[in-house]
Amino acid sequence: MNIEWYIVLSSLLFATGAVGILVRRSPMVILLCLELMLNAGNLALVAFSRMVGNQQGQVFALVVMVVAACEVVVGLGLIVAIFRRKLPLDVDRLRGLRG
Amino acid sequence: MEAVLFFLAAIGALGGAMGVVAMRNPFYSVLALIVHLFSLAVLFLLLTSAFIAAAQVVVYAGAVMVLYVFVVAYVGGGGEPVGETLPNQRFLAILVASILFIELSAAILSSALLALGTHGPDVPAGFGDPAAIGRLLLEKFLVPFEASSLLLLIAAVGAIVLAGRKRQETA
């Protein structure tokens, strides 16, 4: 398959993740859609790395995975903290940053 | 054969992504994301990056998704309230995302990257296998490698601080 197919698929997945972030209201699903967008970026990185025949792009993809894992851990920690304070898990109603 | 695998994996990835966005129950969204991640691993294999594919399955579909399932089970996967805060929010979101997709595709496909229309160059047999990536990580990218391990440590400590605070207060 030509590389452009992978790139188009990657931008389609990115747009799908963007729809999810704009539409959904549960912070957990918004985190999941963030994962979608990060993975779309990873697919583009690996596709370009194959295009130029250089493995360094794959190292970038690994670093993106690490960052995604960190983001998940902190985000889920926040969700658990919100849940323990008996606040609503709805981003439209969580407006103030003040605890 | 390669084209068949590509389209199967692409349909899986796209279907998984749509499932994440469309499912009302967060638990089903997580399961759809697992389908998406496995399909992406197949795509990575097609792009001759075996190590990334393996890391995708082990780290994402294994560890990260287990974390999600635990938190969904803990918080309770109650469906989110129906109704939109902004009028026409769904329509606007899809419009914005379509514009984003068209713009990204146009920007990349109309660029002067002539190699986009090819399979990429022929690569040696060890391209993207764990040995090659490991050598790159420990020789050329040693500092980013250590920085990312530090980032993981900070995230782990931060998660404990965030999620464990209330228990300490009450104890």
CATH 1.20.120.1200 fits B1-80, yes or no: yes
Q: What are phi and psi of B87, to 5 degrees?
A: -65, 140
55-94 in chain A: CB under 8 A from chain B: 55-56, 58-59, 61-63, 65-74, 76-81, 83-85, 89-90, 92
Least Cα separation, residue B64 to chain A (angstroms)? 7
Q: What's this model's pTM, rounded to 2 decimal places?
A: 0.88
pLDDT 10s digits, A57-81: 889 999 999 999 999 988 888 888 8
Which tokens is B30 given? Answer: 């997580």
CA distances from A57 to A48, B115, B164 (A): 7, 16, 37
pLDDT 10s digits, A3-60: 888 999 999 999 999 999 988 888 888 999 999 999 999 999 999 888 888 888 889 9
ipTM beyond cut 0.85:
yes
Query: Would residue A96 count as lying in a domain?
Result: no
Please give the interface size between A and B, counted as residue pairs whose CB atoms are below 8 Å apart: 236
The CA angle B78-A92-A88, to the nearest 5 degrees, is 45
Between CA B61 and CA B133 the distance in angstroms is 21
CA distances from B60 to A28, A54, B46, B68, B102 (A): 16, 24, 19, 10, 29
Say how many domains are in chain A: 1
Query: Would residue A90 count as lying in a domain?
Result: no
CATH for A48? 1.10.287.3510
Element holding A44 (H helix, E strand): helix A27-52
Structural domain span for residue A40: 3-84
Q: How high is the pLDDT of residue B171?
A: 45
Q: How high is the pLDDT of residue A85?
A: 79
Q: How high is the pLDDT of residue B128?
A: 81
Residue segments in chain B with a per-residue pLDDT below the cut of 50: 171
Q: What are phi and psi of B77, to 5 degrees?
A: -85, 45
80-119 in chain B: CB under 8 A from chain A: 80-81, 85, 89-90, 92-94, 96-98, 100-101, 104-105, 108-109, 113, 115-119
